[in-house]
Structure 1
Amino acid sequence: MVCDTVVYHPSVTRFVKFLDGSAGREKILRLLQYLARFLAVQNSSVLARQLQIQFTTVRKFLRFLKPLNHLQAAAKFYDNKLASDNVVRVCSILKNIFFAAYLSLDQINLLRILKLIPVTALTGKKVPRWSNWCWLFGLLSGLVMDLRKIQTSHVQIATFLNANSQNQAGEKEDHKKALGKAYQDRYASLRRLFWDATDSFIVLNNLGYLSSNEEYVALSGVVTSILGMQDMWKAA
């Protein structure tokens, strides 16, 4: 009886669903990768460094063919000619295209790690750098989109607050719900802005434009991994 209570508990069911897809597993491995990276720096641990490499490699397997997801998403945003905000639409298209390019180039990194293609100046240096550049451009597109959504939400909140003071009692309830939705949208956009900015910090260090301590880069990866896991947990 106690066993049934544990097995069929909603949290356990959600956790099973979370792990059932490759995306959930990839997010957990990303968290472990950056934790191992942090421990490798803190303790000069060879084991932690080896674990980091292994987690990174397995993640590349789990993301195989994932560029197709982003290409499909970009096509859907492109076809949505009736979008209410063209800035968000264009940024969404660019973000998904750059992420598709980033993940495609990362597959070349995987083939190099598996020694299926030779290590050359192209595959060993240029491709990883191009991959990081695509990741950065995708994040920059996301940052513009985040700022646009924050601006739009702020305008909506101001409009609802002004309208709410002039409406009748029945209409105030509808505006209260709309105002609550606008506050939620603004919070989600601010959270996403922080997320994209933190990932940008990581990739700028990867590209050598920043030379921050390795601990800070690793902790940034831990933070964004947790944010990603939170979103997937809510969707599970």
Structure 2
Amino acid sequence: MVADTLVYHPTVTKLVTFLDSTPKREKSFRLLAYLSRFLAYYLQRKGYPIEWVNMWSGLKGHFTFIRKGMRFFKPINHLQTAAKTYDNKLLDPVLQSTTVIRNLGYAGYLTLDSVTWFKMLGIIDKTKFPTISKWASRFWLLGLIAGIVNSLHIIRSLTTKTTVDEKVDQAAIDKKLYSAKRKLIWDLLDSFIALNSLDILHFTEGDVGLAGIITSIMGLKDLWVATP
């Protein structure tokens, strides 16, 4: 039967497994939030009815609110990663320090973001901590800058190794280089978002939304590939 074919199809089974995970659902809502942000701006620029613009703006707020709740315990993961990396004395010093800083930055960002979520819930007075979102973006940017330095160091090390050592596994090196360059682009796009949220850059909501869509798809692709 057609229904059985759909129910037991490997892709459907993988999708069920994929969505049965909070981190993967959170990343899906991230994509929806940035897509809504982009569409609200696009429809406004094209002169569509204000009701349509308001609908997508409202959806962006709802998706963002849901995401914040899903990320409530994520700082613990980043703190644990930072601690384990700090204890690993065999790591390259640059990779070690940038990984620690990146994860501490993300932990600070997500912790402050949880305070924003409490304000949205009404648990904390909305008038308190008026600059909390700016500080959250600063911590996020700190983590992203550390990630950029990390990727640049990996790219430099791999390029040097390829030039000096003729016996290297070129296919393995190319794979690692691709991964590092991809992560560099990812962090640069997210840094673009963070810099706009801090009013250091002043691009449009559409530009920020598009950058968020791209990095969300990149993250979802990695999670999809890792799903059994």
Q: What TM-score comes out, normalization by structure 2 length? A: 0.92
Deviations 1:71-99 (A, max 9, x none): 1111111111112x111111111100110
Alpha-carbon distance in structure 1 between the residues aligned to 2:60 and 2:104: 28
Alpha-carbon distance in structure 2 between the residues aligned to 1:62 and 1:153: 37
Per-residue deviation, 1:134: 0.1
**Partners of 1:74 and 1:96 within 8 A in 2:** yes
SS at match of 2:200: coil
Which of 206, 222, 231 aligns to 2:213? It is 222
Per-residue deviation, 1:204: 0.3
Alignment correspondent of 1:167? none
Which of 98, 101, 108 aligns to 2:108? It is 101
Alignment correspondent of 2:20? 20
Alignment correspondent of 2:43? 43
Alpha-carbon distance in structure 2 between the residues aligned to 1:3 and 1:181: 43
Alpha-carbon distance in structure 1 between the residues aligned to 2:4 and 2:74: 37
Alignment correspondent of 1:119? 126
SS at match of 1:116: coil
Alignment correspondent of 1:71? 79
Alpha-carbon distance in structure 1 between the residues aligned to 2:225 and 2:102: 23
Per-residue deviation, 1:15: 1.4
Q: Percent identity?
A: 42
CA RMSD of the aligned region, Å? 1.3
**Partners of 1:92 and 1:142 within 8 A in 2:** yes
Amino acid of the residue matched to residue 18 of structure 1? F
Aligned residue-pair number: 219
Per-residue deviation, 1:118: 0.7
**Partners of 1:34 and 1:218 within 8 A in 2:** yes
Alpha-carbon distance in structure 2 between the residues aligned to 1:13 and 1:97: 36
Q: How does 1:140-219 map to 2 (within 5 A)?
A: 140-160=145-165, 162-163=166-167, 175=168, 178-219=169-210
Per-residue deviation, 1:2: 4.4
Structure 2: stretches of 5+ with no match in the other structure: 45-52
Amino acid of the residue matched to residue 27 of structure 1? K
SS at match of 2:57: helix
Alpha-carbon distance in structure 2 between the residues aligned to 1:151 and 1:7: 48
Alpha-carbon distance in structure 2 between the residues aligned to 1:98 and 1:223: 22
Alignment correspondent of 2:70? 62
Alpha-carbon distance in structure 2 between the residues aligned to 1:145 and 1:87: 7
SS at match of 1:30: helix
Q: What TM-score comes out, normalization by structure 1 length? A: 0.89
Alignment correspondent of 2:47? none
SS at match of 2:126: coil
Structure 1: stretches of 5+ with no match in the other structure: 164-174
Deviations 1:139-172 (A, max 9, x none): 0000000101111121232245x33xxxxxxxxx
Alpha-carbon distance in structure 1 between the residues aligned to 2:17 and 2:172: 28
Amino acid of the residue matched to residue 58 of structure 1? I
Deviations 1:112-144 (A, max 9, x none): 011111122x42x31111100000000000000
SS at match of 1:64: coil
**Partners of 1:157 and 1:183 within 8 A in 2:** no
SS at match of 1:119: coil
Per-residue deviation, 1:10: 2.6
Alpha-carbon distance in structure 2 between the residues aligned to 1:213 and 1:105: 25
Which of 139, 142, 145 aligns to 2:144? It is 139
Alpha-carbon distance in structure 2 between the residues aligned to 1:82 and 1:3: 54
